[in-house]
């Protein structure tokens, strides 16, 4: 997953973009970048690392200008090479810089098309493809400045060519900020504004929390298929640019990715998680009539809100039995399984008083490989637990994600080809329960009943965009195995073959 932001302000935007990226850091910790427009030139700083490490005072001083875009990256199938940090840049037409959250499916076909137009893609990133497609569509414009009609018709053409998930921000030199969301709105994108004495400032970002943090008011979600164009005078234009838009947002944003204090497509992430807790508690009551749980313990942090609700509904105490070391990155981003195994213990420690002689119900938001849950159950037993039950607020994850979330290939997913009992046995739980998919959907829908459909492919294997067939999934499997990732990372920046990069 990645985080994006774009602003057309009335004064310098460097600090605002930096602050927004800091609150979007949960969406990607691998690399960060900011581009600003200063007197007709781009100023760029991007590198691997956390926002606080990538930008030093000297960089911030150079990032002058009243408009800019920013990105935090979380690599999935792609390489972690610094050359793939975003935003990307092309010099023609105008000079365009672009950052993207999502994953394009039909990159092979798009690359061929771009090659015929003599456009060279120099990295393995699909964002560079998206940028070149946009640039190519804007190439047809005749005048020296862009009209909103010209911007929107270029984006319409981009939508017609691309399959996949893409929430995008682009800055065009001398013209303005362009932001667009794919026709299904799979990845989130929100519009905000700030009234100043000099005029209105506009901002788009992956999550509302980024707007809150920098004092902008949320205006609305960017609609699926819609494009926003803010010219450098600060005038806002918007238009639906998809022939067939349909709102199908990714449900995993609500389960795990987004911050609880964000709202996506008018649904509060926090309240959705509370509803997930209620639904799961109802299932526990129905399926485990004679349960003997003494205490409900979350696996920090995402599941804390869910676990509180489960404890309330079951009338059982809630205890934070695990302490998280705040200064360690997410375990999932480690390249190899061995490292991932070690890192769970470095990240979490059990408080024995909460486990000794008790039957505990551990709650997590989701189970992917099962590495975390297996080790956590082991830790709970070492801390003296009698029985360890495990509840997942998401259903069994059985299929890879192709829309920008780092999910391993099916064979590496613990729920692939296994039923609940088999999973419980593998992770060493005395009992195990998963949310039903219908209940998960309902939990979010309760917050916005107008969302008719969600992108739920990791649970049901149903991919909403064209182009996700077995050949594509096999291709993804090759790119995503731990070995493939390790090889790519050993070969930073030298491999010019294009992989279908998810670099949200
Ligand atoms: P595991 O089952 O060991 O692979 O890890 C599952 C844990 O990782 C869950 O507790 C989630 O909170 C978290 N998680 C789920 N999906 C992802 C992801 N795509 N990237 C990082 N962490 C994730």
Which region, left, alpha or beta, applies to residue 65 given φ > 0 means left and ψ of -120 to 50 means alpha?
left
- Of 46-50, 121-125, 333-337, 441-445, the range with the lowest mean pLDDT is 333-337
pLDDT band for 442, please (50, 70, 90 cuts): very high
Ligand 1 within 6 A of CB of 390: no
Q: How far is the CA of 256 from the centre of ligand 1 (A)?
A: 8
pLDDT band for 83, please (50, 70, 90 cuts): confident
| Angstrom distance (rounded) from CA 143 to CA 106 | 31
pLDDT band for 485, please (50, 70, 90 cuts): low
Ligand 1 within 6 A of CB of 369: yes
7: pLDDT strictly greater than 70: yes
What would the two tokens of residue 209 be? 């929390």
pLDDT band for 492, please (50, 70, 90 cuts): very low
**Which residue, by CA, sits nearest to atom 16 of ligand 1?**
368
Ligand 1 within 6 A of CB of 330: yes
Ligand 1 atom at shortest distance from the alpha carbon of 1:
19
178: pLDDT strictly greater than 90: yes
Q: How far is the CA of 409 from the centre of ligand 1 (A)?
A: 14
273 alpha carbon, distance to own chain's centre = 17
Report the alpha-carbon angle 100-87-77, nearest 5.
Answer: 55
493: pLDDT strictly greater than 60: no
pLDDT band for 476, please (50, 70, 90 cuts): confident
From the CB of residue 66, how many other CB atoms can be counted at a distance below 10 Å?
Answer: 19
Ligand 1 within 6 A of CB of 408: no
Ligand 1 within 6 A of CB of 370: yes
- pLDDT at position 1, please? 83
Domain residue extents for the chain: 3-246, 268-325+344-467+470-487
What would the two tokens of residue 328 be? 């360690």
Write down the catalytic residue from 2, 241, 250, 502. 2
502 is catalytic: no
The CATH H-level (homologous superfamily) assignment of domain 3-246 is Aminohydrolase, N-terminal nucleophile (Ntn) domain (3.60.20.10)
Tell me the pLDDT tens digit for each residue of 132-155: 999 999 998 988 899 999 999 999
Q: Stretch 175-180: mean pLDDT, rounded?
A: 98
- Could you tell me which residues come within 8 angstroms of residue 398 by beta carbon, excluding any fewer than 6 positions away? 410, 413, 415, 416, 417, 458, 459, 461
Topology (CATH) of 268-325+344-467+470-487? Rossmann fold (3.40.50)
Residue 99 has what DSSP assignment?
Answer: E
482 marked ligand binding residue = no
Q: What is the mean pLDDT of the chain?
A: 92
Domains 3-246 and 268-325+344-467+470-487 agree in fold: no
3: pLDDT strictly greater than 60: yes
Tell me the pLDDT tens digit for each residue of 152-168: 999 999 999 999 999 99
| Angstrom distance (rounded) from CA 316 to CA 195 | 48
Tell me the pLDDT tens digit for each residue of 203-255: 999 999 999 999 999 999 999 999 999 999 999 999 999 999 999 999 999 99
């Amino acid at each position: 997953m990645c985080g994006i932001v774009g602003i057309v302000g009335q004064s310098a935007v460097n600090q605002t973009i930096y602050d927004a990226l800091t609150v979007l850091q949960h969406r990607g910790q691998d690399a960060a970048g900011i581009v600003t427009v200063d007197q007709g030139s781009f100023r760029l700083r991007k590198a691997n690392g956390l926002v606080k490490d990538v930008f030093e005072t000297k960089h911030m001083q150079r990032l002058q200008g009243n408009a800019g875009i920013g990105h935090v990256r979380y690599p999935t199938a792609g390489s972690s090479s610094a050359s793939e940090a975003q935003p990307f840049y092309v010099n023609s037409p105008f000079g365009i810089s672009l950052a993207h959250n999502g994953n394009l499916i039909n990159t092979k076909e798009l690359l061929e098309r771009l090659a015929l137009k003599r456009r060279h893609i120099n990295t393995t990133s699909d964002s560079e493809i998206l940028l070149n497609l946009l640039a190519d569509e804007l190439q047809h414009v005749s005048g020296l400045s862009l009209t909103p009609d010209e911007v929107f018709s270029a984006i319409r053409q981009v939508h017609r060519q691309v399959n996949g998930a893409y929430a995008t921000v682009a800055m065009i030199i001398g013209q303005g900020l362009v932001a667009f969301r794919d026709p299904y709105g799979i990845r989130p994108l929100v519009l905000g504004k700030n009234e100043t004495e000099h005029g209105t400032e506009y901002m788009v970002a992956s999550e509302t929390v980024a707007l809150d943090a920098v004092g902008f008011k949320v205006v609305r979600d960017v609609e699926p298929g819609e494009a926003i164009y803010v010219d450098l005078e600060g005038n806002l234009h918007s238009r639906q640019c998809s022939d067939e838009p349909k709102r199908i947002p990714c449900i995993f944003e609500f389960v795990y990715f987004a911050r609880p204090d964000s709202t996506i497509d008018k649904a509060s992430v926090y309240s959705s998680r509370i509803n997930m807790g209620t639904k799961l508690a109802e299932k526990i009551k129905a399926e485990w009539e004679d349960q003997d749980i003494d205490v409900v313990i979350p696996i920090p942090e995402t599941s804390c809100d869910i676990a509180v609700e489960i404890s309330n509904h079951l009338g059982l105490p809630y205890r934070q039995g695990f302490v998280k070391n705040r200064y360690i990155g997410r375990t999932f981003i480690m390249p190899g399984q061995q490292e991932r195994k070690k890192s769970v213990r470095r990240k979490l420690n059990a408080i024995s008083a909460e486990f000794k002689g008790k039957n505990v119900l551990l709650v997590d938001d989701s189970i992917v490989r099962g590495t975390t849950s297996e080790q956590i159950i082991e830790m709970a037993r070492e801390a003296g637990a009698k029985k360890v039950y495990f509840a997942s607020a998401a259903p069994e994850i059985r299929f890879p994600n192709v829309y920008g979330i780092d999910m391993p290939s099916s064979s590496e997913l613990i729920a692939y080809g296994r039923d609940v009992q088999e999973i419980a046995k593998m992770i060493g739980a005395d009992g195990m329960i998963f949310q039903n998919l219908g209940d998960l959907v309902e939990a979010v829908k309760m917050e916005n009943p107008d969302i008719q459909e969600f992108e739920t492919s990791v649970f049901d294997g149903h991919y909403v965009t064209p182009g996700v067939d077995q050949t594509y999934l096999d291709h993804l499997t090759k790119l995503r195995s731990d070995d493939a990732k390790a090889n790519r990372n050993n070969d930073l920046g030298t491999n010019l073959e294009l992989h279908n990069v998810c670099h949200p």
